[in-house]
Chain A
Amino acid sequence: MISADRQSAVQKRLLKRYRDEARFRAFGIAAIVFALAMLALLIGSIGSQAISAFSVNELTLQVTLDAERVDPDGDRSPESLRRGSYNGLLQDALRAQFPDVTDRAQLRDLFGLYTPLVAARLLNQVADHPQSVGQTIDFTFPISDHADLYLKGQITGSDSASLSGGFTIARQDGRAMIVSETGAFATVLDAVRADLDLRADALEARAARYETRSEAAGDAARSEQVAGDAETARVQAAALRAQTGDDSGDLELTPQLPSRLVRIAGGFMAIDTISADGRTVSGTFLVSPEADASDEAEILSLSVPQADRRFSDAQIAWTETLVARGLVREGFNTWLFTNADSREPELAGVLGAMIGTVLTIAVTMALAMPIGVFTAIYLEEFAPKNRLTDLIEVNINNLAAVPSIVFGLLGLAVFINTFGLPRSAPLVGGMVLALMTLPTIIISARAALKAVPPSIREAALGVGASKTQTVFHHVLPLAAPGILTGSIIGMAQAMGETAPLLMIGMVAFIADVPSLSLDGLTEPATVMPVQIFLWSDGAERAFEARTAAAIIVLLGLMISFNALAVFLRRRFETRW
């Protein structure tokens, strides 16, 4: 009989055990939830950035393939067609949409709505169909990255409001005015005043900051300089306040203030002055109106001032007009999957990098898998156990921990400098990655071989199979799923590797899609992770979304690779 004392001690101990177990489970669940939340955050943030890169706005223009300009020799030969002036045709097609744009600087802005690189596409199209020379065709091409970003709302916030009450357009000394007898522009006036006030507030806050800094500065000269800056800000703020406070004078909209465009009768005017009574706005017409009077007008407010963006009011007006004319369509961004890298984001694609990755990984697989697996088989099944093999084993384990960039240096020194293999080539990249993945494959393959029950070996040896027969008929098939898993992990690692490839020059800008063939192995190429690295550094803002899109593509490639591995594993797995 257990004493009551002892019994309660046992009970206590039991309760503590349950508590420990419950706590451990709670920690485990918390860890999993945390990991899942992080994963969701990662995928969510990349996905939300990438989404805008998967669609693109395309412009369709009527291009007249004027025979004299397209085919200077007049014989429709490819050589002659290649000398044609296609960019000129595109420029003419765009000018035809906005005939009153004549100023040189304005024209440069207008032609900024597309990249001249698309002229090469027009050339190829004409070269493929020489019979189209002389005709007028519809040519569709991606609009410039800035216009695309504007249409996706990423350059400036825009807000439109309808005005009504009848408007007339008047011109005076090269300036245009829109007059509303009902004073419809009063709302605009208020909004601009609010903008001015905000700006004055910001300037005053800055002045206050400078003043405190000036007082705190120990150095007299520095203190004076900061005080001067503060003074300047105060004066600017005071000037703005004077404008808003003055109800009688006209308000001026500088490029430092959020722009306001008036859309009227199919035209666009950028406002630079608003009369104090809210009856008249004046400025310049960016797109000419089709009539001199209209019942309705629309005010387009652009929250980012023109001075702070690289897409001018005029370009916005043209883009909006092209959209209104039904010439711009948003569609799936096929360019992303059919083009190689480009300096122009709207033409940049991942196809080149994808093929580079396929070629590189093919080389890696062809080298690392057989060498790694056979090394593992030899070391595990045949090699004598002595100091030398111990040393080799320790070194293989150490190699798995060597930073990957070291393998890149090795590749540069040995494969490129000593053997004279080509730079930037998938062949060398694959060889370097094979070196890097070998330890992973060897270690996992050895573990898989070790896990095969010894009874199977004994059974095979017992019926008179030789050592080699035992290994290849019985042990290897049983270890294959494990070996495959390890190899795939190694390959996935290689697929995501950037550092060693930088060393061997696979970081170059390559605008051609490498050929998916043996020749492609020695042509310059780049791979997905390097492409992501390059784009993340891209100067154009549109590369941000493309970087995220490329990450999604790489993740997709990896997931399909792993899915294939799981499928193969299931397929060949034998249980014992």
Chain B
Amino acid sequence: MSTVYHDTQIENAKVALDAVGVTYGSKTAVSGVSLRIPDRSVTAFIGPSGCGKSTVLRTINRMNDTIDIARVSGSVKIDGEEINSKSVDPVVLRARVGMVFQKPNPFPKSIYDNIAYGPRIHGLASGKSELDAIVETSLKKAGLWNEVADRLDQPGTSLSGGQQQRLVIARAIAVSPEVILMDEPCSALDPIATAKIEELIDELRENYCIIIVTHSMAQAARVSQMTAFFHLGDLVEYGPTEAIFTNPRDQRTQDYITGRFG
């Protein structure tokens, strides 16, 4: 029983989901999710654990393909192009749609190689100096340059948790994506590191379409412009963050944001 309150004002959505459903074997994780996500803004997915918000996020870069038993139905379009069609290579798609995970997962390589890996495999740089430039700009955009500029050859895993997460964001930026997906990027970090990441997200908004899954409603309120509330595999309510938090139209949304469950 999904009653979705849509904000239909959004024109020229960057990402458009229509009747998206995901099943794992015989279990339905999410069904009938339709969303229009605007470019150059932060959209937050909130909801209690197991509500399917991460699953929906993973349909946008086809990460569900890597799970054998997962089946995706419905349509996901980026810039009007259907990404689930056979002609789209998920590898190329993932270069356009970067992803940051819950736990910082830098490669067990040097900081430099962590950033350079994406550009290298996609052939984005034609020489060492160009690659150096990409690494530098990516780290600068992720606000990490000042901290690591003099130790690029040290392993990425030697950084602190917050630095690692920014390194991972820099790694995602390095392949010049259009959309960045973040799956609870701050859940493993302390409040100071979290504040830094949130600041970074706010800056990145100017250039990218960012979709963030979060358990913290305060974080959603702080960083996002649009918020979608999921519950038990359904999209319950979607609209501007301010409207969702101050004037929810659905009782479940109301209960969740006031902390009555979840």
Contact = CB atoms under 8 A, between A and B. Distances in A.
B107 A464 contact: no
Nearest to A458: B101
Interface string A456-472: 11111111111001000
B214 to A, nearest CB: 18
B63 interface: yes
A481 to B, nearest CB: 12
A575 B107 CA distance: 10
B63 A458 contact: yes
Interface residues of A, number: 22
A384 B122 CA distance: 27
Contacts of B107: 456, 459-460, 474
A463 B95 contact: yes
A473 B101 contact: no
A455 interface: yes
Interface string B88-117: 000111110011110101111100000001
Contacts of A459: 101, 105-107, 168, 171
Given A464-B122, A465-B91, A574-B108, 12 more contacts: A458-B101, A459-B105, A459-B107, A459-B168, A462-B61, A462-B98, A462-B100, A463-B94, A464-B91, A478-B108, A575-B108, A575-B157
Nearest to B99: A462
Contacts of A455: 101, 103, 105
Contacts of A474: 107
Contact of A384 (B68, B91, B98, B108): B68
Contacts of B98: 462-463
Given A455-B103, A474-B107, A575-B108, A463 B66 contact: no
Contacts of B68: 384-385
15 contacts: A456-B105, A456-B107, A459-B107, A460-B107, A461-B94, A462-B94, A462-B101, A462-B172, A463-B174, A464-B95, A464-B121, A464-B175, A465-B121, A478-B108, A575-B157
Contacts of B175: 463-464
B161 interface: no
A419 interface: no
Contacts of B100: 462
Contact of A464 (B66, B92, B101, B168): B92
Interface in B12-26: none
Contacts of B95: 463-464
A456 B104 CA distance: 10
Residue picked from A463, A473, A574, most chain B C-beta under 10 Å: A463
B61 A469 contact: no
Interface footprint category on B: 20 to 34
A389 to B, nearest CB: 11
Contacts of A575: 108, 157
Contacts of B122: 464
A576 B157 contact: yes
Contacts of A463: 94-95, 98, 117-118, 121, 171-172, 174-175
Given A464-B121, A464-B122, A464-B175, A576 B94 contact: no
**Main SS of chain A's interface residues?**
helix
Given A462-B101, A463-B172, A464-B92, A469 B63 contact: no
Interface in A443-488: 453, 455-466, 469, 473-474, 478
Contacts of A465: 91, 117-118, 121
Contacts of B61: 462
A41 B206 CA distance: 75
Contacts of A384: 68
Contacts of A456: 105, 107-108
Contact of B63 (A385, A461, A478, A574): A461
A576 B159 CA distance: 11
A472 to B, nearest CB: 11
Q: Can you list the 7 inter-chain pairs with the closest CB atoms, starting with the nearest? A: A464-B95, A455-B105, A462-B99, A463-B118, A464-B94, A576-B108, A459-B105
A469 B91 CA distance: 10
Contacts of B93: 464
A377 B100 CA distance: 26
B66 A461 contact: yes
Contacts of A385: 68
Nearest to A453: B105
B208 to A, nearest CB: 15
Nearest to A463: B118
Given A458-B101, A462-B98, A478-B108, A473 B117 contact: yes
Contacts of A473: 117, 121
Interface in B151-181: 157, 168, 171-172, 174-175
A464 B105 CA distance: 15
Residue picked from B66, B93, B157, most chain A C-beta under 10 Å: B66
Interface in A476-524: 478
A222 to B, nearest CB: 80
A464 B168 CA distance: 14
Nearest to B115: A463
A180 B131 CA distance: 105
A474 B108 CA distance: 8
A461 B94 CA distance: 7
Interface string B118-137: 10011000000000000000
B21 to A, nearest CB: 22
Contacts of A464: 91-95, 118, 121-122, 175
Interface string A179-192: 00000000000000
Interface string B58-91: 0001010010100000000000000000000001
Nearest to A459: B105
Contacts of B108: 456, 478, 574-576
A417 to B, nearest CB: 43
Nearest to A457: B66
Contacts of A478: 108
Contacts of A462: 61, 63, 94, 98-101, 172
A462 B109 CA distance: 16
